[in-house]
Amino acid sequence: MIDTTPLVKKLGAFVALSDAELSVLATLLKRRRSFVAGRDLVHQGQSDQAAYILASGWACSYKLLEDGQRQIVDFQIPGDFLGLRSVLLHVSDHSIEPVTDIEVTEIHVADLLEAFAHTPRLATAVLWAASRDEAMVVEHLVDVGRRNAAERMAHFLLELAARLFLIGQGDRTGFACPLTQYHLADALGLSAVHVNRVLRQLREEGMVTFRDGLVTFDDYARLAEFAQFDPSYMDQANPLLR
Amino acid sequence: MIDTTPLVKKLGAFVALSDAELSVLATLLKRRRSFVAGRDLVHQGQSDQAAYILASGWACSYKLLEDGQRQIVDFQIPGDFLGLRSVLLHVSDHSIEPVTDIEVTEIHVADLLEAFAHTPRLATAVLWAASRDEAMVVEHLVDVGRRNAAERMAHFLLELAARLFLIGQGDRTGFACPLTQYHLADALGLSAVHVNRVLRQLREEGMVTFRDGLVTFDDYARLAEFAQFDPSYMDQANPLLR
């Protein structure tokens, strides 16, 4: 019995899937696999990979430039697809690295597309999830393009909290966070030294503390105002299909 | 008879749609509308909008920050969806502005989701299109986060050329481009003065000239190498479903 809890929690908030639809989803999940932290499970340019659903742990997707610079596109938490876009587009446009040791369930995209024919609401759910992922990448673009370092850090931590809340792993007091300052730097287009300085600034201003793997919101409301955080792009208000 | 040529050209390159599937698509296109350049057709925060398919002209999607800064997320060319993500996520996370006068066909998302039930390959085609849009936003994130100003301009112009080629509006010699330096600045996270300087640099180095509404590739191969442009993320090689 493969545990689909985080995925079902996430999709269920947006497209109410019936038991029959959920059991189709369960048949797609071929096998459970484990990967260790820091070793890529998908490589940029790879073309024969499977897609995965993250069951436990955190991962990140990133692109490497030829000069060795790295841009982290997004982090994945339990319930998120890993590499779905890559499979649809034949060639992976990014690499995926486990941030922690992770457990995933493998999904063959031919099976997924076949399942759409019988359970179109599942197609809608997946399209919704892909749209939400895109909305988050758009916010990261705005982060890097137009927000200053402190605002983008604040916005990023608030988004993570909202995503974790949906799968029952965080709230407005804070969340457990396995990311290092190097992850934050590569995601936000900052140096590690700059990340350090910005985190100190936010802590000294009494808004948020990130220490020993724990993000604590010292003043959630003020932090949200500071970051101009409007969570509506994450669409956690009500389901698309009932 | 509503002309779906650019959309059919674009989708047809990736998911081979049958005549029956194309006629379902045609029934979704409710009516043709026109919008004038510079007046938003979707506003950030709006929740009752339709989605559109762009039939002619160019548009851009953007986000405004409270301090008045603007980040252009992407440009849309004929055959692209306008506001599809917004409709799926209930609330528009961005605004859409016509860059030129445009013609669009309106599409009601309830009809689209209903159509998925009968023509699942259409759902796959739309999921593919959404995935490709996301891949482009990811590239823009890398542009702004990790590429220098000249590289990001070069990469951006090459991507536009590849997209236009797919709908028969450009090739490796160049393309007609209605964008102003202000559009380029807001898309690439640069000032208009900086855009000017970068375009002069690329022209003086004999790679590309943007003048009088025309982008001319003076040396396509060298520009592509300079920008590390790898078009595989646009997945224009072969169809996902035959």
Which structural domains are found in chain B, ordered by start? 5-132 (2.60.120.10), 147-234 (1.10.10.10)
Q: Do B85 and A232 touch (CB under 8 A)?
A: no
Question: How far is the C-alpha of A225 from the C-alpha of A216, rounded, in Å?
Answer: 16
ipTM above 0.90, yes or no: no
Q: Do B127 and A128 touch (CB under 8 A)?
A: no
Q: Which residues in A lie closer than 8 A to residue B120 (C-beta atoms)? A: 116-117, 120, 123
SS3 A102: strand
Question: How far is the C-alpha of B123 from the C-alpha of A88, rounded, in Å?
Answer: 13
According to the model, what pLDDT value does residue A1 have? 39
SS3 B84: helix
Q: Which of B91, B145, B241 sits opposite A71 (nearest CB)?
A: B145
Q: Helix A149-166 vs helix A181-188: angle between axes, to the nearest 10 degrees?
A: 110
Q: Which of B90, B94, B134 sits opposite A85 (nearest CB)?
A: B134
Q: Read off the pLDDT of residues B29-61 as tens digits, 9 standing for 90 and up.
A: 778 899 999 998 888 877 766 789 899 999 999
Question: How far is the C-alpha of B122 from the C-alpha of B15, rounded, in Å?
Answer: 8
The Cβ of residue B56 has, within 10 Å, a number of other Cβ atoms equal to 15
pLDDT of B1 over the 50 cut: no
Q: Which of B128, B144, B147 sits opposite A145 (nearest CB)?
A: B144
Q: Read off the pLDDT of residues A112-161 as tens digits, 9 standing for 90 and up.
A: 888 887 887 888 888 888 888 888 888 888 888 888 899 999 999 999 99
Q: Read off the pLDDT of residues A15-58 as tens digits, 9 standing for 90 and up.
A: 777 888 888 888 887 788 999 999 988 888 777 667 898 999 99
Q: Which residues in A lie closer than 8 A to residue B130 (C-beta atoms)? A: 127, 130-131, 134
Q: Read off the pLDDT of residues A178-221 as tens digits, 9 standing for 90 and up.
A: 999 999 999 998 899 999 999 999 999 999 999 999 999 999 99
Handedness of CA B72, B73, B77, B81 (dihedral sign): negative
**Going by DSSP bridges, is the β-strand pair A70-76/A102-107 parallel, antiparallel, or unpaired?**
unpaired
Q: Do A91 and B228 touch (CB under 8 A)?
A: no
**Matching residue, tokens 């209903």:** B114
Q: Which two tokens stand for residue A92?
A: 């992976």
- Say what the alpha-carbon torsion angle B191, B193, B199, B201 is, to the nearest 10 degrees: -110
